[in-house]
Amino acid sequence: MTRLSIQLSALLLGLSFAVSAAANSPTIRLFPTTVVEDLRQTGDVARDMENGLQEVIGRLDQQRELYEQSKCDGAENDPGCQRLSRQIGATYLEMLTIMEDRLPDMEHTVNNTRQSLERSLRNELGRKMSSWTLQETLIGASEQGPTADSSPALRGRSGMRLSERFRQYYQLVATSGSQSDQSLAVLASDIYLDMDETSVLIERTRQEIARATLMEQLNQSFGIITPEMMEVVGGVKTILFGDEESRALVAGPPPGSVEQAYRSPLEQ
C-alpha cells in the first residue's frame, strides 16, 4: 500500500540530486524546485487514491467470486443472488464515490506538474536550443557518448500504471540521469507526455463518474449487475495496478564489436 509513496519519495530524492547536479554546472534546468514540489504533491494524492481504491476493489473481487461460486449467473430472481447483487452494486458505488472525491485533487496536482514541466521544456529545450544543440545534449557532452547501460531506455506511455512509471523514472534519475542533461531531457519529456495523457484521462473519467453513479443508483432498486460495472472495475484496476501483458519491451543492441576508436577529421 505504501509502495507508491516510497517510490515517489525516492523519485523526489533522485530529482533533488538532479537539481543539485544541474546547479553545479551551466546545464539546462528542467527540474526546478516547483516541478519537484508538484511531483511530491502528485505522489501524495496518487498514494491516497491507490490506498482507498485497493481495498474496495479487493472487496469487489471477493463479492464477484462469491456471486460466481453461488451460480447466480442466470438466477437473478433468486433472493440470495439479488442480495449479493445489491452488495456488489453498493461496493461499486463506494468505488465511484472514492474516485469522485479523489480525482479533483489528482487532476489539480497532475495539471500543476504538467504545466511546470511545460514551461521548463518550452524555455530550456524549445527556445534556448536549436535542433543541433538539442542533439548534442541528447548524445551527451562526452567524447565517448552514452553506453547502453547508462542511457535511459524509452518506455512508451501506455499499458503501465502511474506508480510503475514513477518507479522507472526514479531508477533512471538515480542511476544515470542525475548527472547528465541527456537523460534529464528524455526523462522530462517522458514525464510531461505521461502527465498530459493522465490529465486527459482524469478529465474523461470525472465526466463519466456522475453518469455511472446515477445508473448504479437506479440499478440498486433491481439488484442487477451490469456488464458495464465489471468493465469499469476492470478498467480502474488496469489503470491503477497495471496490465502486465502490455508492458513495453525494450530492444537490446545488435551484437557486435564495440572497439571503434577511429575519429575522422571530418567528424562533427
Which CB atom, from 221 or from 264, has the smaller least distance to other proteins?
264
Contact between 255 and other proteins by CB under 8 A: the answer reads yes
Contact between 29 and other proteins by CB under 8 A: the answer reads no
Contact between 121 and other proteins by CB under 8 A: the answer reads yes
Q: Which of 84, 117, 202, 225 binds other proteins (CB under 8 A)?
A: 117
What does residue 124 show for φ and ψ, rounded to 5 degrees? -80, -45
Q: How far apart are CA 236 and CA 231, in angstroms?
A: 9
| 117 residue type, one letter | L
For 178, the 3-state DSSP assignment is: helix
DSSP per residue, 220-247: HHHT---HHHHHHHHHHHHHHH--GGGP
Q: How far apart are CA 78 and CA 6, in angstroms?
A: 47
Q: How far apart are CA 193 and CA 204, in angstroms?
A: 17
Which CB atom, from 123 or from 213, has the smaller least distance to other proteins?
123
Which CB atom, from 245 or from 259, has the smaller least distance to other proteins?
259
Radius of gyration of the chain (CA): 23
Whether the CB-CB separation of 84 and 63 falls below 8 Å is answered with yes
Q: How far apart are CA 217 and CA 84, in angstroms?
A: 15
Contact between 138 and other proteins by CB under 8 A: the answer reads yes
Contact between 254 and other proteins by CB under 8 A: the answer reads yes
Q: How far apart are CA 100 and CA 97, in angstroms?
A: 5
Q: Which of 58, 80, 104, 126 binds other proteins (CB under 8 A)?
A: 126
Contact between 259 and other proteins by CB under 8 A: the answer reads yes
Q: How many residues bind other proteins (CB under 8 A)?
A: 47
Residues 6+ apart with CB under 8 A from 246: 158, 159, 160
Q: Which of 26, 74, 79, 127 binds other proteins (CB under 8 A)?
A: 127
Contact between 173 and other proteins by CB under 8 A: the answer reads no
CB-side exposure of 241: number of CA atoms within 13 Å?
14
Determine the interface stretch with other proteins among 19-27, 82-90, 137-145, 234-242 (rule: CB under 8 A): 137-145
Determine the interface stretch with other proteins among 32-40, 95-103, 111-119, 169-177 (rule: CB under 8 A): 111-119
First-to-final CA distance of the chain: 51
Task: Kindly state the smallest distance separating residue 118's Cβ from other proteins, in Å.
Answer: 4
Q: Which of 1, 23, 148, 249 binds other proteins (CB under 8 A)?
A: 148
Q: Which of 63, 85, 151, 205 binds other proteins (CB under 8 A)?
A: 151
Binding site for other proteins (CB under 8 A): 117-119, 121-122, 125-132, 134-136, 138-139, 145-146, 148, 151-152, 154, 182, 185-186, 188-190, 192-193, 196, 253-260, 262, 264-268
